[in-house]
Structure 1
């Protein structure tokens, strides 16, 4: 009798102990979730990372591609004309390209956040005609959005190759 291969289990990473200020806690949790979902997608086998594992069509590359657009829209003021389309990575983009683009968007978003004067201030926008939410609201929303999709990614990755853990 041949034993089934054991699923890969990544070491679980506990939530951050990120400073004492509200801004440090919010940014710490957001960065924790960002790293978690990027790690879920990183190294996923292709073409499974693009394949829909649920009836809605949700897949790993689409989730991370979508979060790239959300980061750029929320923190950099980039306009998105078709939100549903953001859930689909370009056919030529593989796992490495989607992960790299996401990490670049996160770095740009963090640079923009570094210029903010406080949580009540508006998120910087390149155009003054584009109303911006407060930094506090933007961080809370991005934590919710990233956490939600990181949960989806957990399930999808486990279905693909049995990989679990943060």
Structure 2
């Protein structure tokens, strides 16, 4: 009897192994983590997505909503200096808590819209480009480069996707990639 071919795990996650350009690496890994966020939600019921996980105190969908706000603050308000609402009026509690009248599909769509705008602002820019003034950053000495902002976003996603790993294990025992 012939043995089935062995599944060979990828040697590296994120962009292809031959990618060495820093801009492409940062954007590639950021996209990989955005996709990982969605993969880790797959298979959860609407109730599981919306119910805060104890002892963490937040729901998986609340984490998605939070990351939408993070994208908005760092890229649109920060890098692009757009005149937008950067924080929900209710602060952290509102940022992490999905309102009962907000559908799961709406939270995901809002998150994906923020990612799309972020991609449109970051893809054509250079890593050394400074954030525009007037949004989050008021003076040239406060304005970080796009590289710094992308690095911040990457670590934020890595941390929160790790948090989601813990939440998922508490919810239904699923672990890892």
Q: Does the TM-score normalized on the shorter chain lie above 0.5?
A: yes
For structure 1, which segment, 138-147 or 78-87, has the greater mean C-alpha deviation from structure 2 after superposition? 78-87
In structure 1, what is the equivalent of residue 134 of structure 2?
Answer: 128
Alignment RMSD: 2.2
Once the two structures are TM-superposed, the CA of residue 84 in structure 1 deviates from its matched residue by 4.1
In structure 1, what is the equivalent of residue 28 of structure 2?
Answer: 28
Unaligned runs of 5+ residues in structure 2 are 1-8, 78-83, 138-142
The separation in 1 between residues aligned to 2:37 and 2:135, in whole angstroms, is 33
In structure 2, what is the equivalent of residue 93 of structure 1?
Answer: 102
Q: How many residues end up aligned between the 2 structures?
A: 152
Runs of 4+ displaced beyond 4 Å = none
**Contact conserved, 2:61 with 2:104, CA < 8 A, in 1?**
yes
Match of 2:162 among 135, 148, 151: 151
Pairing 1:40–2:40 present = yes
User: Given the two structures, how large is their TM-score scaled by the length of structure 2?
Assistant: 0.75
Bigger radius of gyration: 2
In structure 2, what is the equivalent of residue 9 of structure 1?
Answer: none
Match of 1:107 among 116, 131, 136: 116
Unaligned runs of 5+ residues in structure 1 are 1-11
